[in-house]
Amino acid sequence: MAAEPAQQAPLLSIEEQTAVGILPASHWQQQTTEEEPIDDGASSIGSFMSSTASLSSSIFEYRQIHGRTYHRELGTAESWEPNDERHNDALELAHHVYTMVLDGKLYNSPLDKKKVQKVVDIGTGTGIWAIDFADEFPNAEVIGTDITPIQPSWVPPNVKFELDDCNSEWTWADNTFDFIHMRMLFGIIEDWEATFRQAYRTCKPGGYTESFVCDSIFRGEDGTVKEDSAIAQWGRVWNAAGRKMGRPFDVYTLELQKKGMEVAGFVDIEVRDYYIPFGSWHKDKSLAEKGIWWKMNVETDLEGYLNYPFNMVMGWSPEETAVYASHLRKELNNPKIHAYGQARSVWGRKPE
Ligand SMILES: C[S@@+](CC[C@H](N)C(=O)[O-])C[C@H]1O[C@@H](n2cnc3c(N)ncnc32)[C@H](O)[C@@H]1O
């Protein structure tokens, strides 16, 4: 196992954090965390999932940061996401949320099942999307790429996984793919226009490219998310960390998907926005169900989500981050707080 790196100097100074409305990390230690009514929708399941965490990946030379593992060195690639079992559990729950959000579908592009032969899923994570897609398209060859080999080996015969940094020059030939899929690559892609240019080049004429991201900000309905709440702070910290890393998280707000596709030359670009409540508070049953699963996803590995951006990038101490996490958990489990997020799917066609 690689040695734990020495604590690095924060990439963002206290003054810079204050300038973008981020409360100092010490703020959270001065707040009480008394018990609030619990949103019994999913929290019990969430904590069960958390307790099943972390079978060690000690046979791999993964880097360690505050007890979590991250991908090995691969060129200059640098991911904010842990690659351990606990985080992979969260990614699989997130997959369930995203497919529910898309009404049970894996994509929005108008694909012709008889014609799709070659597909790539960039930044595939656990590979669950690629595996499901390969099942649905048994005649297509599906490649999933990532910088860390966390994908299973028992997969349908038409799926394969490759280690590849999506921010480097793509090595596939021009006009290779019928469908290029990129999901939740916020905080990962450095230059969205350059990435869509590479997608355009490697997409076949008549083929489709599709991107899905969640908004990095949680919002609130009926004034129930206060400005100085942990929920409101969440997006500010993530966006500041993304700017500092040079890999934005505010892809939704900056409309980077649509802009990037337009610049690259895609046509018939379609944009679909989604609303996802956080937790079980929504009166609409179907939305509440999505909210329960989404909360379960975040709760399954809240610490893993926060570890790199808050500790490594913003320079919060692990203790400060843990206290912030407990405030956030408390707010997310308070049914009086009506938090929600947004997501956006954008797809376009390369002209013939
Ligand atoms: C939020 S996860 C999303 C996984 C998957 N697309 C999904 O939606 O289930 C982002 C993935 O991107 C991978 N990643 C990070 N940096 C990358 C890079 N430079 N090139 C390719 N993949 C990268 C991470 O290892 C992680 O598995």
pLDDT digit string, tens, across residues 62-82: 778 888 888 777 777 788 898
Report pTM. 0.87
Tell me whether strands 339-349 and 219-220 are parallel, antiparallel or unpaired. antiparallel
Give the Å distance between the CA of 302 and the centre of ligand 1: 17
Q: Which atom of ligand 1 is nearest to the CA of 189?
A: 19
Of all protein residues, the one whose alpha carbon is nearest to atom 4 of ligand 1 is 125
Distance in angstroms (rounded) separating the CA atoms of residues 101 and 95:
10
> Phi, psi at residue 100, to the nearest 5°?
-65, -40
Class of domain 14-349: alpha beta
Mutation test residue for ligand 1: of 63, 69, 185, the one with most atoms within 8 Å of CB: 185
pLDDT tens sequence across 191-207:
999 999 999 999 999 99
Residue in this structure with the two tokens 């947004």, named with its chain if needed: 342
Q: With contact defined as beta carbons under 8 Å apart, do 65 and 5 qualify?
A: yes
Give the Å distance between the CA of 91 and the centre of ligand 1: 10
Distance in angstroms (rounded) separating the CA atoms of residues 235 and 289:
23
Does residue 139 or residue 8 have the better pLDDT?
A: 139
Q: With contact defined as beta carbons under 8 Å apart, do 106 and 134 qualify?
A: no
Question: What's the number of CA atoms in the CB half-sphere (13 Å) around residue 267?
Answer: 5
Sequence-distant (6+) residues with CB within 8 A of 71 are 62, 63, 77, 79, 83, 147, 148
For ligand 1, whether the C-beta of 343 sits within 6 Å is no
Give the Å distance between the CA of 214 and the centre of ligand 1: 14
pLDDT tens sequence across 89-118:
999 999 999 999 999 999 999 999 999 999
Q: What is the mean pLDDT of the chain?
A: 87
- What's the pLDDT at 17? 78
Give the Å distance between the CA of 125 and the centre of ligand 1: 5
- The least confident of 69-78, 103-112, 268-277, 284-293 is 69-78
For ligand 1, whether the C-beta of 91 sits within 6 Å is yes
For ligand 1, whether the C-beta of 187 sits within 6 Å is no
Distance in angstroms (rounded) separating the CA atoms of residues 296 and 50:
10
For ligand 1, whether the C-beta of 124 sits within 6 Å is yes
- What's the pLDDT at 61? 63
Q: Could you tell me what percent of the chain has a pLDDT over 90?
A: 71
- What's the pLDDT at 295? 93
Whether the per-residue pLDDT at 257 is higher than 60: the answer is yes
DSSP 5: P
